[in-house]
């Protein structure tokens, strides 16, 4: 048997069937990527997709039987990664012709065990950055074109697309990283035999020609790796308490429950609570008079409490107890006549709330330079407080500058930077000592998450903040063989699990933990939502 590897300008004819893999790069190395397409036109489009030099393009032929025969040959074929490319039918609502589907799981319609494609979210992110509309989910392979009731039954299983070859072809991956990228050409509303089918097919093929850069980045990032998880990471006690406050409020009061600002700084948390009936507002004038409103974990100024009382709102306060500690210190220091220097970031909700406790007495400084230039009425009566989510080392630099400027200055009785912030920064430093790259999971408006990136970069290690696995750029991974993962205190743990799973799909990997200790702190819920 001979295996046909079609050139971009000379695709094989439709009768191609049996092959043996012999293709190599010009320097004699085996091809890194093997791309398999079922149909002649799909292979032709793949050949024009700007794939890595030396990529092997294999045409299997249409249907599960030919795909299974090809898979048996692919098991022994050279190549570090396998990509199945072609067109498909859309099953899920919102999956439209021209959209790209990347399989995170491939199912055999006959009931065989599904095959996972862990790196799908990473590849999907790269495709989206090319301007394509991409869906990630299960693809199911069937023996004949699905129409009518058959399509409805497949959609009911949760599959988002259907084809006739992928399940059989991924069986030839033989443990290699595997991707399945299909372009939708038909749906229940726009079937294959309908007006516009030819146009949709042509659009699908042209879309395939655009996926090459993403596949190139994907295969370039395939490697054997070590993954290091920083511990602690993700939710802290204050965040868990705040989320539970909203959940309990929904249970007790029903929908809607209003929340002023984001309950914690994470878009995934907010979206989840919105899906359950919480309504997030920026200010209280958006809340109907007499409604129930939750104040976020970051705390609010006394003027916000006054406004809530004026509108007769039922308030449930989810302020983190460690933030409330800083508020209490501000009130105490102000009452004794001190000028209070608040070290923090202008515009952060926690800082706004603390400033509001004593606006005539508190001065905000963000840097050592600002501290050295600060003027106060009585240098002998100066105290300082801190935002709870600062970088420990940078905050100490500001304190040192304040002590030089005001030798009599005093600080709080106990540290303002919270235990969770300090612990996560210590853990990410431990990971950075071994890593080539550190990925921090968290939202861009999360102060403690941003600080983890900054702390890592000050250790001389590349670090990036990502909202979820889809934001990881494959180019970051390519040179890295040891990757550290941490997450801000407001980032859900499952986002770290998704990222770890996806990275493990990029080649053989080991996962281990680098810990600076565990956290066993918990906080009581507000009386308004406690169970009897």
Write out pLDDT tens, residues 188-212: 999 887 788 899 999 999 999 999 9
Q: Average pLDDT in the 476-486 region?
A: 97
Q: Average pLDDT in the 90-98 region?
A: 96
Q: Average pLDDT in the 331-343 region?
A: 96
Kindly indicate the confidence band of residue 29, based on its pLDDT and cuts at 50, 70 and 90.
low
- Cβ atoms 338, 361 nearer than 8 A: yes
The domain boundary residue, chosen from 405, 429, 464 = 405
Whole-angstrom Cα distance, residue 410 to residue 380? Answer: 10
Is residue 76 in a domain?
yes
Whole-angstrom Cα distance, residue 429 to residue 147? Answer: 55
**What is the domain-level CATH number for residue 126?**
3.40.50.1580
| Residues 67 and 216 both lie in one domain | yes
Q: Average pLDDT in the 340-364 region?
A: 96
| Residues 213 and 229 both lie in one domain | no
Residue 343 pairs with which residues in a beta bridge?
365, 386
Output DSSP code: residue 470.
Answer: G
Write phi, then psi, for 281 (nearest 5 degrees).
-130, 160
Whole-angstrom Cα distance, residue 316 to residue 525? Answer: 10
Is residue 496 in a domain?
yes
Residue with tokens 């606006």: 359
- Cβ atoms 116, 201 nearer than 8 A: no
For the ranges 14-23, 82-91, 275-284, which has the lowest average pLDDT?
Answer: 14-23
Kindly list the catalytic residues. 350
What mean pLDDT value characterizes the chain? 92
| Residues 137 and 41 both lie in one domain | yes
| Residues 334 and 213 both lie in one domain | no
Output DSSP code: residue 114.
Answer: P
**What is the domain-level CATH number for residue 393?**
3.40.1010.20
Is residue 167 in a domain?
yes
| Residues 101 and 188 both lie in one domain | yes
Residue 81 pairs with which residues in a beta bridge?
33
| Residues 364 and 464 both lie in one domain | no
Whole-angstrom Cα distance, residue 389 to residue 450? Answer: 10
429-442 residue pLDDT tens: 999 999 999 999 99
Write out the E strands in 396-472: 437-441, 462-466
For the chain, give percent helix, strand, coil, nearest 5: 35, 20, 40
Q: Which two tokens stand for residue 273?
A: 């609570």
pLDDT at 28: 46
364 prior amide bond cis, ω within 30: no
Kindly indicate the confidence band of residue 174, based on its pLDDT and cuts at 50, 70 and 90.
confident
Percent of the chain scoring above 90 in pLDDT? 86
Is residue 469 in a domain?
yes
Task: Please state the length of the chain.
Answer: 532
Q: Which two tokens stand for residue 221?
A: 């990032």
Q: How many CB atoms lie within 10 A of CB 434?
A: 13
The domain boundary residue, chosen from 220, 246, 263 = 220
Residue 446 pairs with which residues in a beta bridge?
none
- Cβ atoms 49, 26 nearer than 8 A: no
Percent of the chain scoring above 70 in pLDDT? 94
- Cβ atoms 469, 122 nearer than 8 A: yes
Q: Which two tokens stand for residue 234?
A: 């993700």
| Residues 215 and 229 both lie in one domain | no
State how beta strands 33-37 and 100-108 pair: unpaired
| Residues 339 and 396 both lie in one domain | yes
Domain count, the chain: 3
| Residues 443 and 368 both lie in one domain | no
The domain boundary residue, chosen from 220, 247, 268 = 220
- Cβ atoms 471, 498 nearer than 8 A: no
Is residue 80 in a domain?
yes
- Cβ atoms 104, 137 nearer than 8 A: yes
Is residue 499 in a domain?
yes
Segment (H or E) for 457: helix 447-458
- Asked whether residue 344 carries a pLDDT value surpassing 70, the answer given is yes
pLDDT at 4: 36
Q: Which domain holds residue 166?
A: 33-220
Is residue 487 in a domain?
yes
Write out the E strands in 225-338: 225-231, 257-260, 278-281, 292-295, 314-317
Write out the E strands in 70-210: 81-90, 100-108, 115-116, 134-141, 161-163, 178-186
| Residues 473 and 387 both lie in one domain | no
- Asked whether residue 42 carries a pLDDT value surpassing 70, the answer given is yes
Q: How many CB atoms lie within 10 A of CB 209?
A: 15
Kindly indicate the confidence band of residue 76, based on its pLDDT and cuts at 50, 70 and 90.
confident
Is residue 12 in a domain?
no
| Residues 474 and 365 both lie in one domain | no
Q: How many CB atoms lie within 10 A of CB 370?
A: 16
Q: How many CB atoms lie within 10 A of CB 314?
A: 15
| Residues 396 and 446 both lie in one domain | no
Q: How many CB atoms lie within 10 A of CB 143?
A: 12
């Amino acid at each position: 048997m001979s295996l046909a590897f079609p050139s971009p300008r000379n695709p094989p004819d439709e009768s191609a069937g049996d092959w043996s893999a012999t293709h190599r790069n010009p320097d004699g190395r085996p091809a890194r990527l093997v791309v398999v397409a079922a149909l002649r036109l799909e292979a032709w489009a793949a050949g024009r997709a700007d794939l890595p030099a030396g990529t092997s393009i294999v045409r299997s032929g249409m249907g599960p039987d030919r795909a299974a025969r090809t898979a048996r040959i692919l098991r022994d074929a050279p190549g570090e990664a396998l990509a199945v490319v072609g067109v498909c039918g859309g099953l899920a609502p919102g999956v439209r012709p021209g959209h790209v589907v990347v399989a995170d799981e491939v199912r055999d319609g006959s009931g065989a065990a599904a095959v996972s494609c862990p790196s799908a979210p990473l590849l999907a992110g790269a495709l989206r950055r090319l301007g394509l509309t991409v869906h990630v989910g299960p693809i199911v392979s069937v023996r004949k074109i699905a129409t009518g009731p058959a399509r409805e039954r497949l959609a009911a299983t949760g599959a988002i697309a259907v084809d006739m070859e992928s399940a059989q072809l991924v069986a030839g991956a033989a443990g290699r990283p595997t991707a399945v990228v299909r372009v939708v050409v038909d749906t229940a509303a726009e079937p294959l035999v309908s007006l516009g089918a030819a146009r949709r097919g042509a659009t699908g093929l042209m879309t395939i020609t655009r996926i090459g850069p993403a596949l190139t980045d994907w295969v370039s990032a395939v490697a054997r790796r070590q993954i290091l998880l920083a511990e602690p990471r993700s939710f802290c006690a204050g965040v868990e308490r705040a989320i539970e406050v909203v959940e309990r409020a929904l249970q007790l009061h029903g929908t809607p429950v209003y929340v002023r600002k984001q309950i914690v700084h994470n878009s995934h948390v907010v979206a989840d609570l919105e899906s359950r009936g919480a309504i997030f507002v920026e200010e209280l004038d958006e809340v109907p008079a007499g409604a129930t409103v939750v104040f976020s974990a970051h705390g609010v100024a006394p003027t916000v409490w006054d406004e809530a009382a004026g509108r007769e709102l039922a308030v449930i306060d989810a302020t983190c107890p460690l933030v409330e500690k800083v508020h209490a210190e501000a009130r105490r220091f102000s009452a004794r006549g001190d000028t209070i220097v608040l070290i923090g970031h202008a515009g952060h909700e926690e800082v706004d709330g603390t400033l509001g406790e004593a606006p005539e007495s508190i001065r905000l400084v963000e840097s050592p330079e600002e501290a050295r230039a600060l003027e106060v009425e009585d240098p002998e009566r100066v105290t300082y407080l801190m935002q709870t989510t600062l970088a420990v080392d940078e905050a100490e630099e500001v304190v040192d500058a304040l002590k030089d400027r005001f030798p009599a200055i005093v600080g709080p009785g106990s540290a303002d930077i919270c235990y969770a912030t300090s612990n996560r920064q210590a853990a990410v430093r431990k990971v950075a000592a071994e890593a080539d790259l550190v990925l921090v999971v968290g939202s861009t408006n999360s102060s403690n998450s941003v600080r983890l990136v900054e702390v890592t970069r000050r250790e001389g290690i590349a670090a990036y903040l990502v909202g979820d696995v889809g934001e990881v750029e494959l180019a970051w991974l390519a040179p890295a063989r040891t990757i550290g993962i941490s997450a801000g205190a407001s980032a859900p743990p499952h986002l770290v699990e998704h990222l770890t799973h996806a990275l493990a799909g990029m080649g053989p990997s080991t996962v281990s933990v680098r810990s600076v200790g565990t956290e066993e702190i918990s906080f009581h819920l507000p009386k308004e939502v406690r169970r009897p």
